[in-house]
Amino acid sequence: MMSDQEIISGCVRHERRAQKMLYDKYSGFLLGICLRYASDRAEAEDILQDSLLKIYFGIDDFTGSGSFTGWLRKIAVNTAITHYHRNLKFRYSVDIEEYVSTETGVSSFEEDFFTSDELFRVLNELPAGYRMVFNLYAIEGYKHREIAKILKIDTNTSKSQYCRAKAVIRNKLEKLRTLKANYPAGGR
């Protein structure tokens, strides 16, 4: 097994073995990031492929001043954002009012009540704009003004899409909780 430094050095020299090692070691991690931003697995795999190409051809830009996984994550997120912008005109247009929901009154959900697959499915059902803002703010830690600049939207739009995304998530989780309570252990 090669160390990260050996992988980086080998990739800078365009060695196939090092590129394969990078893929083997980090493709699952990167795919997980891409899945959060894509509407389906095929789109996530496209984003992953674009990310890997950017990584392979730009690896000599990695300065080593931060973590390698952080650098990889940034490339995957930026590639997902670029993909989102490029495909925005082809996305199904959704009336925003259709997704505005009222607060459910539920202050929090039990931590272990939902599986990771259920949570992923709920996040993946968000409209593309909501999902993008939610991921950038809640998961990646960007500020709303940074998100606004990245997505070329108003800061208040970022804030409102995040609030609406939370409301949609809360609503969907409440429905899922009710469904699970009425049909425990998947018995339908």
Give dist(CA 63, CA 150) in Å, integer: 23
Give me the mean pLDDT over the 45-66 stretch. 93
Query: How many alpha carbons fall within 13 Å on the CB side of residue 184?
Result: 1
Q: What is the pLDDT of residue 93?
A: 40
Q: HEC profile for 6-55?
A: HHHHHHHCCCHHHHHHHHHHHHHHHHHHHHHHCCCHHHHHHHHHHHHHHH
- Domain ranges in the chain are 4-89, 96-186
What is the CATH code of the structural domain delimited by 4-89?
A: 1.10.1740.10
User: Which CATH class name applies to 96-186?
Assistant: mainly alpha
Identical fold for domains 4-89 and 96-186, yes or no, is: no
Arithmetic mean of pLDDT over the chain: 84
**Do residues 2 and 10 lie in contact, with contact meaning Cβ atoms separated by under 8 Å?**
yes
48 or 173, higher pLDDT: 48
Q: pLDDT tens digits, residue range 73-126?
A: 999 999 999 998 887 654 444 433 333 333 334 444 444 577 878 888 888 889
Residue carrying structure tokens 């697959």: 117
Closest by Cα among 8, 148, 129 to 67: 8
**What is the arithmetic mean of pLDDT over 153-178?**
90
